[in-house]
Structure 1
Amino acid sequence: MPTHFKIAFCFVAFTLAGAAFAGTPADKPERIRGEIVSFAGNALKVHRRSGDTVTIDMQQSAGVNAVKAIQLADIKPGSYVGAAAIPGPDGKLTAREVLVFPEAARGTGEGHYAWDLGANSTMTNANVDTVVQSTSGRDLTLSYKGGSNTINVPANVPVVTLIPATRAELIAGKKVFVVAIPKTSSTFDGKLVVVEKDGVAPPM
């Protein structure tokens, strides 16, 4: 399968974890962040930030990507990004991380919705209209169907893009971001794993 199709497939799963999900609560994808304990057969064990360890069933259809660090200056008008942000006292959104999507994934999860990377955090997947230098980084004006946001991206915020990865990279000690559907309280059906590579951990 060509690389861009593999990445695009992974983004389908990524989208499931973003916008509102219409299925039953039991089918609702969860975002799992933590560190790999082990990977054997199809069983990926992850120690979550919350302190518990869960088992994720990684069938062959589950996608695996890694993240590559890029520069804030790489974000240009016309880029398609996903920006997790939190509101400041003045209501202005400040980014916690920015994911620059490959062009093949333009339109993925488009919109502005609640996220779980801190209190009151949101995710905006949108096109970059303008980039303006500010005293605290850069201000991105983002537009999506139905609205627009301006998000400040401080210079020290992680900016990454997704690159292909393999299951051979799912080794103990690596940080991961997983999109999965719960089967029991401690087991999940894995849809997407984004794994640490070359010391760059998924910031999502």
Structure 2
Amino acid sequence: MSTAPLNLVVIVGSTREGRFAPTVASWFAEQARAHDDVTVDVIDLAEADLPHVLSGEPTPAVAAVTPRLAAADAFVVITPEYNHSYPASLKAAIDWHYAQWQAKPVGFVSYGGVSGGLRAVEHLRQVFAELHAMTVRDTVSFHLAWERFDADGQPHDAHVVNGAAKKMLDQLGWWGRALREARNTAPYTA
């Protein structure tokens, strides 16, 4: 099996003004960068400027994101929960692409109110299954997220959530390396 670092793409799914996503994403990217043999590429959909209307040829913004997704060995989606589901910006980013998700593992970091974004994660699992991606079991979720971080963007219960992030990253690493090896041996076809 290849010993090349795992290329992890972290997707920040919220684009709303005043969003809490940058706090959660910054914390998680720090956790991922501390993990052995992982390179991290953060795609913030608020900066990617992907169109929500799927028609015709991909725009330059879509074309700029596509090779970054294609290069990924694994993904982590950072999502809030809006109206018991995930944001439209995240759905558009997913729908603009297809082969880039196939035979790759996906993990989730969710946040929100009482549910901590877990309903959004459950909806995303169905979408990624349709795209032939494999979601890992363990997630990291922040219930009442805006109360869970200090002024420096660190979780108050870092000893707990850092451990949860490590566990999910370990699962992603195993699946990411196994599926990369499988794709290199026999390219995946859907």
Superposition TM-score, scaled by structure 2 size: 0.27
The answer to which structure, 1 or 2, has the higher relative contact order (CA under 8 A, 6+ apart) is 1
Larger Rg: 1
Structure with greater proportional strand content:
1
Structure with greater proportional helix content:
2
